[in-house]
Amino acid sequence: MRWILRVAGALVIAILLGVIGLLLLPDERIVRIATEQIETRTGRQLTVSGDVSLSFWPVLGVTTGPVTLGNAEWAGPDPMLSASGMSIGVSASDLLTGAVRVTGIVARDPVLRLQTAPDGRANWVFDTPPSQAGARAVDVITDKQDRETPIALDLLELRNGTLIYIEAGAAPVTVSGLDLDLAWPDPTGPATIRAALRPVGEEIAVNAEFSDPAGLMQGAVSPVSIDVNMPSGTIAFEGRVNTAGELAGRADLGSENIGAGFAALGLPAVELPAGWGPAVRVIADVTHTADGRLSLRGMRSELGQNRLNGVVDVVLGDVPQVTAKLSADVLSFPAAPRGSAGGGAGAAPGVAGDGWSRAPIDASALALVNASVRLTAQGIRTPDLSVGETRLLLEIDRARAVLRLEDVSVFDGQLLGELVANNRNGLSVGGNLTAAGIDILQIQRDLLGMERIRGKAGGELQFLGVGQSVDAIMRSLSGKGALRMGRGVILGLDLDRLMRGDTASGGTTVFDSLGASFTMSEGNVLNDDLLLQLSNYRADGKGRIGLGARDIDYTFTPIALRARGGQGLSLPIRIRGPWGSPRIWADLEAAAKANADAKLEELEDEAKARLTRKLAEELDVEIEENQDAEEILKDKIEDEVKDQLFKLLGRN
C-alpha cells in the first residue's frame, strides 16, 4: 500500500501546485506539470499517452490514456506500474478550505511489479536522483505541503489488475484478476482495503483495516485486522505490521477442504494422509521478522481426526529450517477409503499378490526441508499397528532423516533406538533397535501376516536396506540381531504327539525359554544356534528365513531328553515354503539316521562294558568305571613279564 499512497500523494501535490493555473492552461501543459512533479518525488519516469480530459466542478479531475511508471535502475527494463488508463478526482470545494480530498483514483488494467534485489533493496522505495534539476527545492516545498496539508483519499480503485512479485533468486509469483478498493477518508484515521483475487478463476476476498496508515507509510508499526475468505475456508489475522514485512499477532486458519484451498490459490495440490484432512483448523500467535524468521506460539491445530499442539519456528530460505516441539493425544492414520490412492480391494500398481510392493518410492521430500521436530503422543494408530505412549525426535539434514525412538510403547513392550532414511545418493534405510517385553505374536500378526509363536521377547536388531522400492529394500537387507524369550507357546506344533510318531499337524507346544542370534544378508535371515528349552525336551534350530522372498527353509529338531532310558530321542521337523502357507513335516529319514547313530554308539558302549567285565574276570583285577581297560591290560602284561623274568634270574 505504501507505493500506492506515495504515488497518490505525488499526484495530489502536483494538482495543488497548479490548481490556480489549471483554468488557464491547456490539457497537455497540465499533464506535463503533474508528470514533472511525480518524477521529482519518485525519481522515476512517468509516461502519459493518449487523450487527456479535465473536469473542474464539483470534482477537479483528470482522465488519461495509457500510463507507465518506470522501475528502479537495477530492476530491469519493465515498468514498475503500467495501466491502460487512469482517472484522478479532487474535491474542488474542499480545496477552497485548504484541505485536499481525493474523491477517487481509478487505474484500469494495472500491472504492478514488486521486486527485491539480492542486497535487500526494494523497487517500491523511491529515491530521488540528486542530479535532477530543481529536485531538492521541490522536495522541500512538497514535504512542507505534505506536513501542513492533510490529504484524504475517499477511494482508490484498481480494476482487473495483475500483481507480479519477484524476490531475488526466486521464481516470479503472478496474481491476475485483481480488484482493489482503498478508502482513507480521514488522513489521521484508519484505512480500509477491499480486494478480490482470482488466481485460477474462483474469487478470494480480502478485507483489511489499518489503524495507522500514515505511520505505516513512514515505517512505523500499525495495528491491522485482516480477513481472507476463500471458497473452502477463511484466514484471519489480528495484530501489528510494518512495511518491512514484519508482523506479530494472532492468526486463525480454517478450511473445510485444505486441498481445494490450495487449488484456489493456484498452488500445487496437497495430499494429506487419511485421517489428517481435508478439514483443517490452525490457531497460533504468529511472529515474522524482516530476516525471514517465522514463529508459531500457543499453536492449536485440528487436522482431520487429529489434534496437535505446540510451538514451531521456521527460518525461511532456499531450504527452510524447521524446529518444533509438539504434543498430541492419540494420532490416527486410518486406512484410505476405497477408490482413493492406496485404497481398494485389489493390489495397488506395482504390488505382487504374494510379495512386496515394487512401486517406486519418491523420497525427494527429504531434501525440501531441514528439521528438528520433537513429538510426544499418547498413542499412534494405523490399520496394522497400534503404538502406546510415544516420545520421538525427528531430525532431517540434507535429505537424511533420523527418527530417534526415545520411548515407544509398542506390542505391549518398549522399543528404543533409531531409524534412518537417507536419500542423498539413492534411497537407503537402516536402524539400530533394542526391544524389551515385546508381544511376539502381535509382531507376526501385524507385520508378517502369520501366527506361529506366542510369548514376550526382547532383543537387538541392526539392519540396512538399499533400493527405490519396498521389494528392493527387503531383498537387500543386511545386519544382525538376537532374540530372547521366556515362557511361551508354539502354535500349530505338538512336540509330544510328534515324538510319539503322530505326524498330524496342529496342536501347541509350551516352552520354558527360547534364544537365538542371527545375521542378515541379501534379504535372508540366517540362524544356526536356536535353542528351545522345554520341561522334557530340548530343541535346536537352524536355517533361513527369506525376508525378501517371503519364504522359509528351517529345520527345527526337538530332542526327548528322557526317552530310551535317558539316552534321548530326536525328531527333526522341516518348515519350508511361503510365509502364508508353509509345509511342516517330520523328517523321519533324518530322525532314523540320527537315532541309528545313537543306537550304534549305544551298542559300542555295551560291547566295551562286556569286554571290560570279561577282562576283569580273566585277569583277576578290579576295573573301576572310569578306568581304561586297555591300559589295565597293558599293566597286567607288564607285571607278568616282570615276574617271569625274575624267576628266570633266580630271584624270588
- Calculate the CA 378 to chain-centre distance: 20
CA distances for 490 relative to 21, 453, 509, angstroms: 106, 5, 5
Buried b (16+ CB within 10 A) or exposed e, 86-110: bbbbbbbebbeeeebbbbebbbbeb
Q: 21, 29 in Cβ contact below 8 A?
A: no
Residues paired with residue 518 on neighbouring β-strands, in sequence order: 481
- What residues does each domain of the chain span? 1-188, 429-586, 604-648
Closest among 164, 160, 169 to 118, alpha carbons compared? 169
User: What integer pLDDT is reported at residue 151 of this predicted model?
Assistant: 56
Q: What's residue 34's pLDDT?
A: 60
Cβ–Cβ under 8 Å, residues 508 and 489? yes
What's the CA gap between 609 and 34, in Å, rounded?
A: 130
Cα gap 316→583, rounded to integer Å: 58
The C-alpha cell that represents 539 in the structure block: 530343541
C-alpha cell of 606? 555295551
Q: What is the pLDDT of residue 138?
A: 40
Q: How far is CA 209 from CA 191, 196, 240, 398, 529, in A?
A: 6, 15, 11, 42, 76
Whole-model pTM: value is 0.69
Give how far Cα 374 sits from Cα of 195, 282, 322, Å.
40, 19, 11
Rg of the chain on CA atoms, in Å:
44
Q: Could you tell me which residues come within 8 angstroms of residue 47 by beta carbon, excluding any fewer than 6 positions away?
A: 35, 67, 68, 70
CA distance 200 to 266: 6
Strands 100-108 and 508-511, sheet pairing: unpaired
Q: How many Cβ atoms from other residues are within 10 Å of residue 429's Cβ?
A: 21
Beta bridge partners of 396: 371, 401
Say whether the peptide bond before residue 278 is cis (omega within 30 degrees of 0).
yes
Nearest to 52 by CA among 37, 39, 66, 62: 62
Instruction: Read off φ and ψ for residue 417, nearest 5 degrees.
Output: 130, -150
Across the chain, which has 652 residues, the per-10-residue mean pLDDT values are 54 47 49 66 78 64 83 88 82 64 77 84 67 42 46 74 83 83 83 86 88 82 92 92 88 88 74 82 94 93 92 92 95 70 42 75 93 95 85 96 94 93 95 93 78 89 95 96 90 68 66 93 95 84 94 87 58 85 75 54 57 59 57 57 50 49
Strand partners, 426: 424
CB 488 within 8 A of CB 449: no
d(CA 239, CA 251): 9
